[in-house]
Structure 1
Protein backbone atom coordinates (compact mmCIF):
# COMPACT_ATOMS: atom_id res chain seq x y z
CA UNK A 1 0.00 0.00 0.00
CA UNK A 2 2.92 2.31 0.69
CA UNK A 3 4.18 1.76 -2.86
CA UNK A 4 0.82 2.84 -4.27
CA UNK A 5 0.92 5.96 -2.09
CA UNK A 6 4.37 6.80 -3.47
CA UNK A 7 3.09 6.36 -7.02
CA UNK A 8 0.21 8.75 -6.32
CA UNK A 9 2.70 11.22 -4.82
CA UNK A 10 4.80 10.92 -7.98
CA UNK A 11 1.73 11.66 -10.15
CA UNK A 12 0.97 14.65 -7.90
CA UNK A 13 4.48 15.99 -8.47
CA UNK A 14 4.11 15.46 -12.22
CA UNK A 15 0.92 17.55 -12.12
CA UNK A 16 2.77 20.37 -10.37
CA UNK A 17 5.64 20.10 -12.85
CA UNK A 18 3.25 20.30 -15.81
CA UNK A 19 1.43 23.33 -14.36
CA UNK A 20 4.55 25.21 -13.35
CA UNK A 21 6.54 24.17 -16.42
CA UNK A 22 3.84 25.39 -18.80
CA UNK A 23 3.55 28.62 -16.83
CA UNK A 24 7.33 29.16 -16.82
CA UNK A 25 7.54 28.49 -20.57
CA UNK A 26 4.95 31.20 -21.14
CA UNK A 27 6.45 33.58 -18.59
CA UNK A 28 10.01 33.47 -19.86
CA UNK A 29 9.69 32.53 -23.51
CA UNK A 30 6.11 32.83 -24.62
CA UNK A 31 3.35 35.38 -24.92
CA UNK A 32 2.26 35.19 -21.27
CA UNK A 33 -0.95 33.39 -22.11
CA UNK A 34 -2.95 30.76 -20.29
CA UNK A 35 -2.62 27.36 -21.99
CA UNK A 36 -4.64 24.15 -21.81
CA UNK A 37 -1.53 22.39 -20.50
CA UNK A 38 -1.74 24.54 -17.35
CA UNK A 39 -5.32 23.35 -16.87
CA UNK A 40 -4.25 19.73 -17.30
CA UNK A 41 -1.42 20.14 -14.79
CA UNK A 42 -3.80 21.69 -12.26
CA UNK A 43 -6.30 18.86 -12.74
CA UNK A 44 -3.63 16.16 -12.37
CA UNK A 45 -2.19 17.78 -9.24
CA UNK A 46 -5.65 18.32 -7.76
CA UNK A 47 -6.95 14.79 -8.27
CA UNK A 48 -3.72 13.21 -7.06
CA UNK A 49 -3.63 15.62 -4.09
CA UNK A 50 -7.14 14.61 -3.06
CA UNK A 51 -6.13 10.95 -3.35
CA UNK A 52 -3.13 11.66 -1.10
CA UNK A 53 -5.44 13.33 1.44
CA UNK A 54 -7.40 10.11 1.85
CA UNK A 55 -6.33 8.20 4.97
CA UNK A 56 -5.37 4.96 3.20
CA UNK A 57 -2.17 3.05 3.63
CA UNK A 58 -0.74 5.29 6.32
CA UNK A 59 1.82 3.90 8.75
CA UNK A 60 0.65 3.38 12.33
CA UNK A 61 0.75 6.55 14.38
CA UNK A 62 0.79 8.83 11.31
CA UNK A 63 -1.92 11.46 11.21
CA UNK A 64 -2.89 13.71 8.34
CA UNK A 65 -2.53 17.47 8.79
CA UNK A 66 -6.02 18.58 7.77
CA UNK A 67 -5.23 22.28 8.17
CA UNK A 68 -2.36 21.95 5.69
CA UNK A 69 -4.55 19.98 3.31
CA UNK A 70 -7.27 22.63 3.56
CA UNK A 71 -4.88 25.51 2.91
CA UNK A 72 -3.38 23.72 -0.09
CA UNK A 73 -6.89 23.03 -1.44
CA UNK A 74 -7.85 26.70 -1.12
CA UNK A 75 -4.67 27.73 -2.98
CA UNK A 76 -5.48 25.14 -5.66
CA UNK A 77 -8.99 26.58 -6.06
CA UNK A 78 -7.61 30.12 -6.34
CA UNK A 79 -5.18 28.98 -9.04
CA UNK A 80 -8.09 27.35 -10.86
CA UNK A 81 -10.13 30.55 -10.63
CA UNK A 82 -7.21 32.60 -11.98
CA UNK A 83 -6.75 30.15 -14.86
CA UNK A 84 -10.46 30.45 -15.63
CA UNK A 85 -10.36 34.25 -15.52
CA UNK A 86 -7.32 34.34 -17.79
CA UNK A 87 -8.80 31.86 -20.25
CA UNK A 88 -12.09 33.75 -20.43
CA UNK A 89 -10.30 37.01 -21.18
CA UNK A 90 -8.20 35.32 -23.88
CA UNK A 91 -11.30 33.90 -25.57
CA UNK A 92 -12.72 37.42 -25.80
CA UNK A 93 -9.51 38.59 -27.43
CA UNK A 94 -8.22 40.57 -24.45
CA UNK A 95 -4.82 40.07 -22.88
CA UNK A 96 -4.44 38.26 -19.58
CA UNK A 97 -3.84 40.86 -16.86
CA UNK A 98 -0.21 40.67 -15.71
CA UNK A 99 -1.27 40.36 -12.06
CA UNK A 100 -3.42 37.31 -12.86
CA UNK A 101 -0.68 35.69 -14.91
CA UNK A 102 2.07 36.20 -12.33
CA UNK A 103 -0.17 35.15 -9.42
CA UNK A 104 -0.66 31.76 -11.06
CA UNK A 105 3.07 31.05 -10.95
CA UNK A 106 3.54 32.51 -7.48
CA UNK A 107 0.65 30.49 -6.04
CA UNK A 108 1.87 27.30 -7.73
CA UNK A 109 5.26 27.79 -6.08
CA UNK A 110 3.56 28.65 -2.79
CA UNK A 111 1.61 25.39 -2.90
CA UNK A 112 4.77 23.40 -3.54
CA UNK A 113 6.52 25.27 -0.74
CA UNK A 114 3.68 24.50 1.67
CA UNK A 115 3.97 20.83 0.82
CA UNK A 116 7.71 20.73 1.48
CA UNK A 117 8.14 23.13 4.39
CA UNK A 118 4.94 22.67 6.43
CA UNK A 119 5.18 19.46 8.44
Structure 2
Protein backbone atom coordinates (compact mmCIF):
# COMPACT_ATOMS: atom_id res chain seq x y z
CA UNK A 1 0.00 0.00 0.00
CA UNK A 2 2.90 2.34 0.74
CA UNK A 3 4.25 1.79 -2.77
CA UNK A 4 0.91 2.82 -4.27
CA UNK A 5 0.91 5.95 -2.09
CA UNK A 6 4.39 6.84 -3.37
CA UNK A 7 3.22 6.36 -6.96
CA UNK A 8 0.29 8.72 -6.35
CA UNK A 9 2.71 11.21 -4.76
CA UNK A 10 4.89 10.96 -7.88
CA UNK A 11 1.88 11.68 -10.11
CA UNK A 12 0.98 14.64 -7.86
CA UNK A 13 4.48 16.07 -8.29
CA UNK A 14 4.29 15.54 -12.05
CA UNK A 15 1.08 17.59 -12.11
CA UNK A 16 2.78 20.48 -10.35
CA UNK A 17 5.82 20.12 -12.61
CA UNK A 18 3.59 20.39 -15.68
CA UNK A 19 1.83 23.45 -14.26
CA UNK A 20 4.99 25.21 -13.13
CA UNK A 21 6.96 24.17 -16.21
CA UNK A 22 4.31 25.52 -18.58
CA UNK A 23 4.18 28.74 -16.56
CA UNK A 24 7.98 29.07 -16.60
CA UNK A 25 8.13 28.55 -20.36
CA UNK A 26 5.64 31.37 -20.83
CA UNK A 27 7.32 33.60 -18.24
CA UNK A 28 10.81 33.30 -19.64
CA UNK A 29 9.75 32.89 -23.26
CA UNK A 30 8.39 36.42 -23.32
CA UNK A 31 4.70 35.74 -24.10
CA UNK A 32 3.38 35.80 -20.53
CA UNK A 33 0.07 34.16 -21.26
CA UNK A 34 -1.61 31.04 -19.95
CA UNK A 35 -1.49 27.76 -21.86
CA UNK A 36 -4.15 25.06 -21.84
CA UNK A 37 -1.62 22.52 -20.57
CA UNK A 38 -1.57 24.48 -17.30
CA UNK A 39 -5.15 23.32 -16.71
CA UNK A 40 -4.10 19.71 -17.25
CA UNK A 41 -1.24 20.03 -14.77
CA UNK A 42 -3.63 21.61 -12.29
CA UNK A 43 -6.14 18.79 -12.78
CA UNK A 44 -3.50 16.08 -12.36
CA UNK A 45 -2.11 17.72 -9.22
CA UNK A 46 -5.58 18.24 -7.78
CA UNK A 47 -6.87 14.72 -8.31
CA UNK A 48 -3.66 13.12 -7.07
CA UNK A 49 -3.62 15.50 -4.10
CA UNK A 50 -7.14 14.51 -3.12
CA UNK A 51 -6.13 10.86 -3.35
CA UNK A 52 -3.17 11.58 -1.10
CA UNK A 53 -5.44 13.31 1.42
CA UNK A 54 -7.15 10.00 2.13
CA UNK A 55 -5.68 8.25 5.18
CA UNK A 56 -4.55 5.12 3.34
CA UNK A 57 -0.98 3.86 3.19
CA UNK A 58 0.23 5.95 6.12
CA UNK A 59 2.65 4.45 8.61
CA UNK A 60 1.15 2.93 11.74
CA UNK A 61 -0.12 5.60 14.13
CA UNK A 62 0.33 8.51 11.68
CA UNK A 63 -2.58 10.84 10.99
CA UNK A 64 -3.01 13.19 8.02
CA UNK A 65 -2.26 16.87 8.63
CA UNK A 66 -5.67 18.28 7.74
CA UNK A 67 -4.58 21.91 8.15
CA UNK A 68 -1.81 21.40 5.61
CA UNK A 69 -4.18 19.59 3.26
CA UNK A 70 -6.76 22.37 3.56
CA UNK A 71 -4.15 25.07 2.97
CA UNK A 72 -2.84 23.32 -0.14
CA UNK A 73 -6.40 22.85 -1.41
CA UNK A 74 -7.22 26.55 -0.96
CA UNK A 75 -4.03 27.55 -2.81
CA UNK A 76 -4.84 25.07 -5.59
CA UNK A 77 -8.37 26.47 -5.96
CA UNK A 78 -7.01 30.03 -6.16
CA UNK A 79 -4.52 28.96 -8.83
CA UNK A 80 -7.34 27.28 -10.73
CA UNK A 81 -9.48 30.39 -10.54
CA UNK A 82 -6.64 32.60 -11.78
CA UNK A 83 -5.72 30.27 -14.65
CA UNK A 84 -9.36 29.74 -15.61
CA UNK A 85 -10.16 33.44 -15.63
CA UNK A 86 -6.94 34.16 -17.49
CA UNK A 87 -7.70 31.62 -20.20
CA UNK A 88 -11.22 33.04 -20.53
CA UNK A 89 -9.79 36.53 -20.95
CA UNK A 90 -7.37 35.27 -23.59
CA UNK A 91 -10.22 33.67 -25.55
CA UNK A 92 -11.96 37.05 -25.62
CA UNK A 93 -8.77 38.62 -26.96
CA UNK A 94 -7.91 40.48 -23.78
CA UNK A 95 -4.50 40.51 -22.11
CA UNK A 96 -3.74 38.98 -18.74
CA UNK A 97 -2.57 41.47 -16.15
CA UNK A 98 1.06 40.87 -15.16
CA UNK A 99 0.09 40.61 -11.48
CA UNK A 100 -2.24 37.67 -12.18
CA UNK A 101 0.34 35.94 -14.36
CA UNK A 102 3.14 36.24 -11.80
CA UNK A 103 0.80 35.32 -8.94
CA UNK A 104 0.11 31.95 -10.58
CA UNK A 105 3.83 31.15 -10.63
CA UNK A 106 4.35 32.33 -7.06
CA UNK A 107 1.36 30.37 -5.75
CA UNK A 108 2.43 27.23 -7.62
CA UNK A 109 5.91 27.44 -6.09
CA UNK A 110 4.34 28.16 -2.70
CA UNK A 111 2.12 25.10 -2.96
CA UNK A 112 5.09 22.89 -3.78
CA UNK A 113 7.02 24.49 -0.92
CA UNK A 114 4.19 23.79 1.51
CA UNK A 115 4.25 20.15 0.44
CA UNK A 116 7.98 19.81 1.05
CA UNK A 117 8.66 22.07 4.04
CA UNK A 118 5.51 21.78 6.17
CA UNK A 119 5.63 18.57 8.21
CA distance in 2, matches of 1:84, 1:39: 8
| Alignment TM-score, normalising by the size of structure 1 | 0.98
Q: Which residue of 1 aligns with 2:93?
A: 93
Q: Which residue of 2 aligns with 1:53?
A: 53
| Alignment TM-score, normalising by the size of structure 2 | 0.98
SS of residue paired to 1:39: helix
Q: Which blocks of at least 5 consecutive residues in structure 2 are unaligned?
A: none
Q: Which residue of 2 aligns with 1:106?
A: 106
RMSD of equivalent CA atoms: 0.6
Name segments (4+ residues, structure 1) moved above 4 Å.
Answer: none
Q: Which blocks of at least 5 consecutive residues in structure 1 are unaligned?
A: none
> Is residue 4 of structure 2 the alignment partner of residue 4 of structure 1?
yes
Number of residues of Structure 1 aligned to a counterpart in Structure 2: 119
